Chain A
Amino acid sequence: MSSDALILGNPTDAELSDQLLSPAWTPKHKLWGLAFTITGAGACMLFFFAGWSIVTGIGLWGNNVPVGWAFDIINFVWWIGIGHAGTFISAVLLLLEQKWRTSINRFAEAMTLFAVMQAGLFPLLHMGRPWFGYWIFPYPATMKTWPNFKSALPWDAAAISTYFTVSLLFWYIGLIPDLASLRDRAPKKIQRVIYGIFALGWRGSADHYRHYRLIYGMFAGLATPLVLSVHSIVSCDFATSVVPGWHSTIFPPYFVAGAIFSGFAMVLTLMIPARKIFSMENVITMKHVDNLCKMILVTGLIVTYSYFCDFFVAWYGGEAPELYTMMDALLFRKGPHWEIFYLTVFCNCIVPNMFWFRWFRQNLYVVWGISILVNVGMWGERFSIIVLSLQRDFLPSAWATYNPTYVDWGIFTGTIFFFSFLFILFLRFVPFVPLMEVKELKHEMHHHQESH
C-alpha cells in the first residue's frame, strides 16, 4: 500500500465500527491506566498550587515590577495557541475541501477544548481575586464599573468565551452521529442510556443528515473567522501597548501563524502515541503525519518571516528603547535569560526545516521529537516576547530580572497534566476518530476508483 493512502486496506463498515468504537468498551489498556493515575495526580498538584495562590495571593509567583505579567500570560497564550490547530483542521480544512482532515479532526477539536480550558485558568488566577472575574464583562453594574473598552483584555474575554462556545458546539455536533452508533452498539444498558441521551435521538435518516450537513457547514463558516480573530486579539494584548518588543503591527497574523504552528505540533505529539496504543494506524496513516509535518514547515516559515520583519524593522525604525530591547538584550545577549530567545530561534526557525526532507517526515521518532521541540520553542517565544521585553523597557533604573518560583512551575506543569488527564478520558469515552466521516470518505474513495 502506498504511503499516500488516507485509509489503509479495505475495511467494511462493520469492521470500521468495531475498530473505531472499541476504545469505549474494551478493557482498559495498562498504559492507559498508568497514564490516568499519573496525570490525575498531576492535575491534583495543579489544584493545590492554584488553590494556594488564591488563598495566599499571587505574591507566591515570581512576578515583580516591571515584569507584572509572566508565567500567567505566557502559559495563557501558549495554551490558546495550541488550541488553534483544532479549529483550523475542523473548519478551515473542511472549507478547503481537504479530505485528510477526516480522521484527525475530532482529535484536534478535543485538544482545542481542553487547551482553551487550561488557558482560561491563567487570567482568572492572575486576577488574584478570581471571584471578581465577572468584572471583565460589561454587566449593568450599579457602581458603574465598566470595563475599559480600549483595553485589549475585555476583547480577549469576549473572543475567548466565543471561541470556546463555538468550538464546543462544533465538536459536539460532529459527535452526534457517532454517539448514536455508540448507543446502538454499547454492551451495557447504562452506556446505552447515557449515549442515547447525548445522541439527541439521531437515527440517521436522510433528513437528519441534511440538517446535520447544513449546521456543520454553518459552524465551519463561523469558526473560521474565530481562528483568525482569537489569536489576533491575544496579540493585541501586547501590540496595542508601547512597550518595546511588543508594539509591532505584524503581531496579529504572526501570532495566528504561530498558534497554528504550535497547535499542529501538539496534534502530532498526542497523535503519534495514541494511534499506536489504540492500533489506529490504518485510519491515521503516514499520509496524515506527512501533511501535518508540511503544515508545521509552512507555518514555521511564516513565523520565521515574522521574526525577520520584527527584528529588521526594529533596527530600521531606529528608536533607542526598541533597539535596546530587540538588539542588545536579545540578539547581543545583554539581557537576562537571553538563552531562551536563542532556544526559541533554534526550535522555531531551524528545527522545522528538517521537514523539507521526506525521510524525516516519515520517521515517527523524528517527527515526535520535532513536535515537542516546536512546542518548547513556542513557549520560549512567548517567554521572550513577554518577559525579556518587560525586563528591559525604557528606563534602565526600572530594569529588573524575572525568575519564576516553584509555584509558577507547579501551576504550569499542572496544566500539562490536567490537559493530558482530560485528553485520555476523551480517548476512552467517545470515538476519537470520527466513525461516520471515515466511512463516508471510504465510500467516496471507493466510488472514485470505480468511476475510473
Chain B
Amino acid sequence: MSVEVASETPKPFTGGTTLLGGAAVVGIAGLAGLGTIWGSDQFYYSYLIGYAFTLTIVMGSLIFLMIVHAMGATWPTAIRRLPEAVVSTMPLLAVGVVPIWMGTNNYPWMHLKDFAKFQETLHVLNHKAMYMSENGFRTRAVICVVTWTLFAEYFRRSSLKLDSQSDPALKHQLKVVASVGLPVVGLSFTLAAFDWVMSLSADWASTMFGVYFFAGGFLSSFGLMAINLTLCKRAGFLQSVNDSHVWSIGRLMFAFTVFWAYISFFQFMLIWIANKPAETVWYLLRIQPDYRWVPYTLMLGHFALPFFFLLWYRLKRNLKALTAIAAWNLAMHFIDIHWMIGPMRHWQDHIGTIPKAADAFMWTDFAAVAAVAGLAIAVAVFRQRGKFLAPIKDPLYENALRYDSR
C-alpha cells in the first residue's frame, strides 16, 4: 500500500501577521482588563483560570511530543511542528507564573487563623503546613516551570535542527531524553496541580486530581492540533498531510474525550458513593445554583456530544468537521477549568458552613484567558516565523507522509 504524496516544495513559514497582531492586541487588551483589578482576590482567581487553561494545553502538547519521541512513532512526524509551536510558548508561561508565585495569600493554608473555630480543618492544615508553606509553594513553582521550559525548548530546538540535516544520533538522543523526561514532567505537573488548584480547598484531597487536571488539557491539545492544521493548510502549508493523519488526530480526540469522561466520572462517583463530608464538599460547592448548569454542560458538551460525533468514521477524516469539534472542545475545557477554580473565589465566606453560591463567570475570567492565551498565540506565531512547518530532514519524515490508514 502506498499513498500519493501531494507534491510540495517545503518552504519556511511566512505571514501570520494578522494572527500575530490580532492575538497580541487581544492579549494586551486582556492584560489591561486584568490590570484594573490588579492585586485583588478576583484578580488572582481570574488569572489562575486563564493561566491554567493555557498551561494545561501547552503541557498536553509537550507530553504528546515526548510520547511521540519515546515511542519512535512515525505518522506524527508529519504534523510534529504543530505541537512544537505550541510548546514554544513555555518561556512565556514560565514568566507567567509570577502572579501565582505572588498570590499565595489566596490559599487557605496561609490563613490558619480563619479556621480557629474549625478544629478538624485546622488540624489538617497544621498537619500539612510543612509542605503547604509559602516557601515550599514558591520553590516548587519555580522548579516546575524551569523544568518544563527546559524540556520544551530542548524538544523544539532539537527538532528544528532536523530541518536542515538528517541526524540519527540526535533522533536517538531525543528518544532517550523523552523517555527519561516523561516521569519527571508527569510528576512535576501532578504536584503543580496539587499546589495551584487542589490546595485552594482547605482540606479536600483526591488522589486522581493530577490525572484529572491533565486529562482535559491533553484532549484540548489534540483539538488545537486540528485547528492549527486547518490554519496551516489554508495558508498553503502542510499540503502533504493527508486524511490518514487527520483520522489519527480524530481518533486521539475520540479516545481522550472518553478518557476525560472516565477520569471525571470515577472521581465524582467514588466521592459521591463514599459520602465523606471532607470530600463531598468539593462537589457540593460546585452544584450551588449559580453553578448547577456547569456539570450538566460538561456531561453533555465535554463528553456526550463530541463522543457521538467522533464515533463517526467519516467525520474523523474530515478536517473541517474536526476543527469545529475542536473549537467546541476548547470552550468546554475553559468551563471545566473554571469549574475547578472559579467556585473557590469566596472560600473565606463559607468556612464551616454549607457553601454558598459563588459568583459564577466574571468578565475578568475571560479577560485572563484572552491575556494569557492571546499572548501565547502571538509568541508561538512569532517564534515560528522563518522556520519550516515540518521537520523535513527527520529520518521518519518521508515515511510519515506516506502514512496510509483506513
Chain A interface (Cβ < 8 Å from any Cβ of B): 97, 150, 225, 228, 232, 236, 239-242, 247-253, 301, 305-306, 308-310, 312-313, 315-319, 356, 447, 451
Contact = CB atoms under 8 A, between A and B. Distances in A.
Contacts of A318: 123-124, 127-128, 203
A228 B262 contact: yes
Interface stretch (B160-168, B182-190, B228-236, B342-350): B182-190
Given A97-B405, A252-B266, A318-B124, 6 more contacts: A240-B274, A253-B262, A253-B263, A253-B266, A309-B210, A313-B205
Query: Is chain A's binding surface mostly helix, strand, loop or mixed?
Result: helix
Contacts of A247: 270, 274, 276
Interface in B253-283: 258, 262-263, 266-267, 269-271, 273-274, 276, 278
A252 B127 CA distance: 28
Contacts of B187: 305, 308
12 contacts: A150-B273, A241-B274, A247-B274, A247-B276, A249-B206, A250-B211, A313-B207, A316-B205, A317-B205, A318-B128, A319-B278, A356-B179
A301 B186 CA distance: 11
Given A309-B210, A318-B127, A249 B266 contact: yes
A317 B124 contact: yes
A37 B2 CA distance: 52
B270 A239 contact: yes
A306 B179 CA distance: 18
Nearest to A92: B255
Contacts of B182: 301
A228 B179 CA distance: 24
A252 B124 CA distance: 26
Nearest to B272: A240
B156 to A, nearest CB: 24
Contacts of B388: none
B131 A242 contact: no
**Top 6 A-B pairs ranked by shortest CB distance?**
A249-B208, A250-B207, A318-B124, A318-B127, A317-B205, A313-B207
Contact of B270 (A240, A313, A319, A451): A240
A447 B1 CA distance: 8
A248 B179 CA distance: 28
A248 to B, nearest CB: 5
Contacts of A251: 207, 266, 270
A225 B261 CA distance: 13
A310 B123 CA distance: 20
B270 A309 contact: no
A305 B203 contact: no
Interface string B122-141: 01100110010000000000
Contacts of A228: 262
B366 interface: no
A249 B207 contact: yes
Interface in B162-219: 179, 182-183, 186-187, 190, 194, 203, 205-211
Given A97-B405, A317-B124, A309 B207 contact: yes
Nearest to B265: A252
Nearest to B190: A309
Contacts of A451: 2
Contact of B131 (A248, A310, A316, A447): A316
A247 B209 CA distance: 14
Contacts of A447: 1
Contacts of A316: 128, 131, 194, 205
Contact of A305 (B186, B262, B273): B186
B208 A240 contact: no
B118 to A, nearest CB: 13
A235 to B, nearest CB: 9
Given A240-B270, A242-B274, A316-B194, A305 B207 contact: no
A450 B1 CA distance: 11
Contacts of A315: 128
Contacts of A313: 205-207
Listed residue (B194, B207, B208, B209) with the most chain A CB atoms within 10 angstroms of its CB: B207
Contact of A301 (B127, B183, B206, B208): B183
A310 B207 contact: yes
Nearest to A235: B266
Nearest to A306: B207
Given A308-B187, A316-B194, A451-B2, A236 B270 contact: yes
Nearest to B275: A242
A225 B258 CA distance: 9
Contacts of A312: 194
Contacts of A236: 270
A242 B277 CA distance: 12
B343 to A, nearest CB: 19
Contacts of A150: 273
Contacts of B273: 150, 240
B173 to A, nearest CB: 15
Nearest to B2: A451
A249 B270 contact: yes
Contacts of A252: 262, 266, 270
A232 B258 CA distance: 14
Nearest to A247: B274
Nearest to A308: B187
A182 B32 CA distance: 76
A253 B274 contact: no
Contact of A253 (B179, B186, B211): B211
Contacts of A310: 207
A216 to B, nearest CB: 16
A312 B131 CA distance: 11
B128 A249 contact: no
A252 B262 CA distance: 9
Contacts of B179: 356
A327 to B, nearest CB: 11
Contacts of B131: 316
A358 to B, nearest CB: 11
A241 B274 CA distance: 6
* Among A150, A241, A305: residue with most chain B CB under 10 A: A305
